[in-house]
Chains A and B, each alone.
Chain A
Amino acid sequence: MVSVVLDNVTKKFGKVIAANELTFEVKDKEFFVLLGPSGGGKSTILNLVAGLERPDKGRIYFDDEDVTFLAPEKRNVAMVFQTYALYPHMKVFDNIATPLKVMKIPKEEIKRKVKEAAELLRIDHLLERMPYEISGGERQRVALARAIVRNPRIFLLDEPLSNIDAKLRVYARAELFKLQRRLGVTTLYVTHDQAEAMSMGDRIAVINQGKLIQIATPEELYHMPIDTFVGGFVGSPPMNFIDAVYKDKKLVIAGRYVITIPQNVMKIIEDLSLNEILLGARPEHVSINFDKTDPEDIEAEIYAIEYLGNETIVDLYNKDLGEDKIIKARIPWRFKDDVGRKVWMKFDKNNLYYFDAATQTNIFHLSAKS
């Protein structure tokens, strides 16, 4: 049983607030992902949990134990860095054995444990090599072996897959996830890659500029992003945002395209007396027609076509929506046409997102709060 609790934790580096009054709980055995852009403060959170940094304010607990000022070696956590941080002058065996050697465990037991960990990660044939004699993917597994060999209370993984080439990475994701489930160790996993977060996380915390933006399961994050930042960060290509004005129970885009909205959305907008709305439409919820099939279709011009094999990303342009605004549509087949051709785009009404333009917040979250 190990849960991790951050209680109002703040960490500053000079003027930069790397962690800003963070409060959340990572549950026992959970695969918890910290997702956000680079420089957002994700590594700082891991370092705080590891004890490599001390918070300026707030408390950190492992279960009921206050570890805020406990030295890193006393926390029994294991960390894997993006660069793996293998000791370059030690053999793979000694790298994995280091945490055990420090604990003064008998030699025979160290050998057995290292071998076990190495077998689990299929690197037992590399034990006599030096770190510079093995591949990037193998190094990553050595770092993981060193992490699991000590039976840590918590895994802290800081972008462990970022330095692996793209092909191997998807495979490594699945491997890592299986390993975590098998060992059942509470895990904090840092990544800036939303696909990685969505595919691995039990829950995801979105972090930006030191602040916690939203904690949710991958499904919630996708369907109920708390604001335009999360909406835009999760999903690829990112969500399209279109300025609209609420008028006569309808949304009006660019003064001339009218969109009717569901009853519940209308009610929230009226309850909160909102006026300017940012409409969010994911590329998979934008479709293209050559003829106008619906009075609410919006005309556009094909700006660019990117064929990806299993799908096509089509860039659409309508100057009325914004001088340099591109609307991306994801078409699940080979879409072939001329750039510059006039088409009609349609938003899937059941899958639109509505944000208050003033606060950039999802109106459903606004109404839940009020």
Chain B
Amino acid sequence: MAKLKQRQEFSDTTIAMFFLAPLIIFLFGIIIYPMASSLYSSFSVVRLSPYQINFAGLQNYINIFSDQYFFHSLSVTARFVGEVVVITIGLSLGIALFLNEVLPFRGIIRAIILLPYALSEFTTAYTWRWFLSSDWGLLNGILYRLGLIKDYIWFVNYERSVEWMAVAYSWHIVPLCAFFMLAGLQTIPETLYMQAKIDGIGPIGRFFKITLPFIKYAILITLVLSTFFAATTTDIVILMTGGGPGISSTTLTYYIYTVVFKSFNLGYGAAISWFLIAIVLVLATLYFTFLTRIGKAR
């Protein structure tokens, strides 16, 4: 009895804190501190050499509204996000429906389809850059060999650079989204489809009456994920198009990158970042309100 008491000297919470402490310190170091620091910067004018930080109130935020480059990149981001979302949902639903069928070599096919997500954004960007390049690109090479084109095509041009970036980025995240949808599909009992066939519901009716209700959450999650991924990615822009040609594919994140690392305007960059975060949060709220609404209407 006495021994037992001694052992219980530390409460469960204390022990948990002991094990969690390193993680908490770590999280604080890599998330909380930089966040606080950047929030403070957004209200300041920052100079690097010599380092100097002066509080400037809302000035950075006010500047945003008279910055035509900001509005340009905001529209590029909106276009990019919209395209990624549409491509990703369409493709991942299609792939999930296909993978859900009883296929030979099911395991291998699934692994191959998941592959693009296992590649880094870096690899994705370079792969597509090489694939689409106008002077030594693979796609041009193939089309030329097939005799379909006489002259090499400049794919990633002023008008279409955002679209190609959206295709490349979707290619990267579709597998993950497809697997969310596949997970949703696999919760559907086969007997429901059998029952529907006996009841005389055709394939289209079965999709809308059975399949869709079961995967609507997976679709919404895909919608949320692809929106946030696309709205916040920088790597693909830096590595695939460099925001160009010109500034045709300069997204908001890439614009922030240039403001901070090329113009060294840290305070202003931070302000735009927080503005982007605000937009994303508003979107998130809208999505999740919608999600709970359809959840209730179930």
Contact = CB atoms under 8 A, between A and B. Distances in A.
Interface in A84-126: 85, 87-90, 98-99, 102-103
Nearest to A50: B198
Interface stretch (B107-115, B150-158, B163-171, B186-194): B186-194
A87 B210 contact: yes
A157 interface: no
B197 interface: yes
A73 B197 contact: yes
A61 interface: no
Interface in B194-210: 194-201, 205, 209-210
Nearest to B205: A102
Nearest to B210: A87
A89 B209 CA distance: 8
A287 interface: no
Contacts of A212: none
Interface in A295-336: none
B197 A102 contact: no
Contact of B195 (A51, A79, A103, A130): A79
B7 interface: no
Interface string A23-61: 000000000000000000000000100111000000000
A240 B198 CA distance: 43
Give the interface residue-count category, chain B.
10 to 19
B298 A73 contact: no
Contacts of A50: 194, 198
B195 A85 contact: yes
B194 A81 contact: yes
B191 A83 contact: yes
A72 interface: yes
Interface in B137-193: 189, 191-192
A103 B198 CA distance: 12
B57 interface: no
B208 to A, nearest CB: 11
A325 B195 CA distance: 46
B198 A73 contact: yes
Contacts, number: 53
B213 interface: yes
A248 B298 CA distance: 77
Given A52-B194, A81-B194, A83-B189, A73 B213 contact: no
A77 interface: yes
Nearest to A102: B200
A78 interface: yes
A262 B9 CA distance: 81
Nearest to B197: A72
A130 B296 CA distance: 12
B200 A81 contact: no
A72 B191 CA distance: 14
Given A47-B194, A85-B194, A102 B199 contact: yes
A98 B210 CA distance: 13
Contacts of A87: 192, 195-196, 209-210
B197 A85 contact: no
Given A81-B191, A83-B189, A89 B198 contact: no
B195 A81 contact: yes
A88 to B, nearest CB: 7
A74 B272 CA distance: 63
Contacts of B201: 98, 102
Given A83-B189, A87-B192, 11 more contacts: A50-B198, A52-B197, A73-B197, A78-B198, A85-B191, A87-B209, A88-B192, A89-B298, A102-B200, A130-B298, A146-B199
Interface of A: 47, 50-52, 72-73, 77-79, 81, 83, 85, 87-90, 98-99, 102-103, 130, 146
9 contacts: A51-B197, A73-B198, A79-B195, A81-B191, A83-B189, A87-B195, A87-B196, A102-B200, A103-B200
